[in-house]
Structure 1
Amino acid sequence: MTTADSTTPRVHPERQRRVKTALNLFSGTAWVTGFLLLLLVIRMVMQYLLNMDVSALDWVARVHGLAFIAFLMASLNLGTKARWSAVEWLTTALSGVIPLMSFIVEAKRRHDVKRTFQLV
């Protein structure tokens, strides 16, 4: 009996290793970016809607900006290795500036990449 998995060509182990490393870096930066974006939104609500003093959280915007740059580089790295289309990369990149989207897109990309590259 023939299954779809037996007809799928095996991915070279070295390519799997490079993609897995890029995927782990991407996932980490996606989670950090998403968390910092949520913290930034909470800070903005506290400052602009609740008129609270949030000077203790002044660092959040800058750190999120740096994390977002790392997220963009990690998604470009993974997208290059996984051969994403421009649309896939763009939607992935934009997910770092929409609250909660980085978590959703990270899960989808992780699932797709693991399936495509036969990662454990």
Structure 2
Amino acid sequence: MSETNPAQPNDTPAGSGVPTAAAKRRFGGTPAQILGALKFYKVLAYATGTMLLLLCIELIVRYGFHSVLMAGGTNSVTGASHGFGFVGSDGVVTGGVNVSTLVLIVHGWMYVVYLIADFRLWSLMRWQFGRLVLIALGGVVPFLSFIVEGRIHKEVLAEVAANPKAGKRY
């Protein structure tokens, strides 16, 4: 989706054959920077979306079945060692790693990095603020990151291809 300002003419000055400077699309970086930011955003969108789905499953197991996923530890009632699996959230297994809590932590930090990738792409493309909010929602609404990523990817490639001279020159 191309952003045009209706107050700016999209035609050429009389007889010059060159578009006016006000009608040109400008990016916040070079095409190589934009494509690099797009690749970073794509990787983080898929990783964050996957972690969000794991988080949803973890929350269903935790609050729906009152269980957590544990790796290692010892059963405090029987004294037997615990391998890997679901246990009641009543604290029967001591020690070990609570994989359910690990999913929560990893998703939280991954979402922070996802927001950085969103902001970088948004600032290089010089989009409106609402677009940043929509992209950021992809990390908190299940499946939305996959849908938004596909649309943003196509749009960025189309805008960069349509405006080859819109990038900054360094």
Does the TM-score normalized on the shorter chain lie above 0.5?
yes
Aligned positions of 1:82-97 closer than 5 A: 82-97=125-140
Is 1:62 the equivalent of 2:83? Answer: no
Which of residues 39, 53, 58 is equivalent to 1:24?
Answer: 39
1:52 aligns with 2:52: no
What percent identity do the matched residue pairs reach? Answer: 28
Superposed displacement of residue 58, structure 1: 1.7
Q: Kindly indicate which of the two structures has a greater share of residues assigned to strand.
A: 2
Shift, 1:52, TM fit = 2.5
Which gives a bigger RCO, structure 1 or 2 (Cα 8 Å, sep 6+)?
Answer: 1
Could you say which structure has the higher helix fraction?
1
Alignment of 1:1-120 (within 5 A): 15-54=30-69, 55-118=98-161
2:62 counterpart letter in structure 1: Q
User: Which has more radius of gyration?
Assistant: 2
What is aligned with 1:3?
A: none
Instruction: Decide whether the 8 Å contact of 2:68 with 2:100 is kept in 1.
Output: no
CA RMSD of aligned residues (A): 2.2
The one-letter amino acid of 2:148's match is: V
Please give the alpha-carbon distance, in whole angstroms, between the structure 2 residues aligned to 1:106 and 1:44.
25
In 1: Cα distance, 2:55 partner to 2:62 partner: 10
* Structure 2: runs of 5+ lacking an equivalent: 1-18, 70-97, 163-170
Deviations 1:89-112 (A, max 9, x none): 111011110000011101110010
Name the CA distance, whole Å, in 2 between partners of 1:29 and 1:35. Answer: 10
